[in-house]
Structure 1
């Protein structure tokens, strides 16, 4: 099996984990842990794991000129991205999060045009417009009366913020992935993220009643640390060694299918006509924005 095939499998694996994470992470907030405390737990756990396996990577140092990019990648991918997602998940629903996260490829296209002057063709512009309409439908008209989702419109806006900074992370980290081993890079990214997240999440982190957590909460917390954080960032880092950032971001298409099926099957969310309409518009927009255009389009 060649490395490109393995990269595709890694990207699919990360997407599958993210798909079920929408419901699993929602299940422990805010009853057992608050979102910012949860993010701090994620980065601490991932840091320990990446440093533990770092001996498997070749010995290398981050060059002085690259530390600025490393810092920005940590802020985008391990701080703002995570804080926005978990804060949004506390306020909104698993289905909304799994739909809105699919705006990431659209955002990658827009950011690529701005940062690396990648041309936006007519077909891509149409896709961006359609996808944003679907996202706005959820943000502006997706309000529901749910005890576990106290502010759905605000939560949906935070999901869009999450997608924006995750897309920016994918673009910025691509250059570093081509230069350093993933283990080397990720151990430093997550270590830096601990110190940046500390002021935001420490009070919520120490407020958790760790000694009395039920097993249902323990395995969900463990899944988010080991699966949603350690494995997904490792899988995507490996995928980026063989695939473009826009290609890796396109695997997010699978998330709504997995996320919606899992949320509905576990009884944690329900489909509505509005959600189906918005999801169709977002997915159509993503498809058009990511489709390789014919000459002149």
Structure 2
């Protein structure tokens, strides 16, 4: 696969921040492919030292940012994921204070180095599964302040941890600043929907993407398009608000963007649009004393293309 631009992991940093100078400027719609290299330094440190307090590497650094010429507030980026290349191993870890089952796991770091080879991802001595690489962190910069690459997920993306952000998918991200300032990181070799541990099979890798620009898209949350589905991301607190907002976006897409009758849209949604919890990061900023405790919810609402 031809790649026109390569961004090394030395351009990785935590957070989405419009004050960070872009490392690349590109014209959208050219089909030029950009390789974003990511690293796994934080997991290697945890494996070696077993101490969150001793970390030197940032958690979930994102590589970039990339300035997209012509992008302005109210537009959206269409980021086409072409390929994700993995290294020879990944990491599975249990971190104190993180994950849905922290009360069942030890109060110290437990770490495994997970081999990745032609056979697949070696989860245990008897569980080898095919790699299903995906991008955990993808987003644009906010107009003010800095958005986290840990939690929460925001309207501009971030640590969404969606298994659908994989080769063949297109991710639509709202733009809040001139140039959008796209950054990508947190590659996984394989991850179950929901990521119960908050640390799935994390891996260093390279994500290859190209970018189109959608003028005046006015998205209020990210969307993901696959061959079979449109996936609408709901964000809100409590979870019922997240679900409602996701449903509104599906409904508005059918009625306002595609011209459907309202009752037709409602009937099809009730019958065929499946909803589920998204990644584990929440939709609101967590308590600073509990940085891994999610507040609010990320939900997904799946519209099959076969009905369109």
Using the size of structure 1 for normalisation, the TM-score is: 0.26
> Comparing both structures, which one devotes a greater share of its residues to strand?
2
> Comparing both structures, which one devotes a greater share of its residues to helix?
1
Higher RCO (Cα < 8 Å, 6 or more apart) = 1
Using the size of structure 2 for normalisation, the TM-score is: 0.26
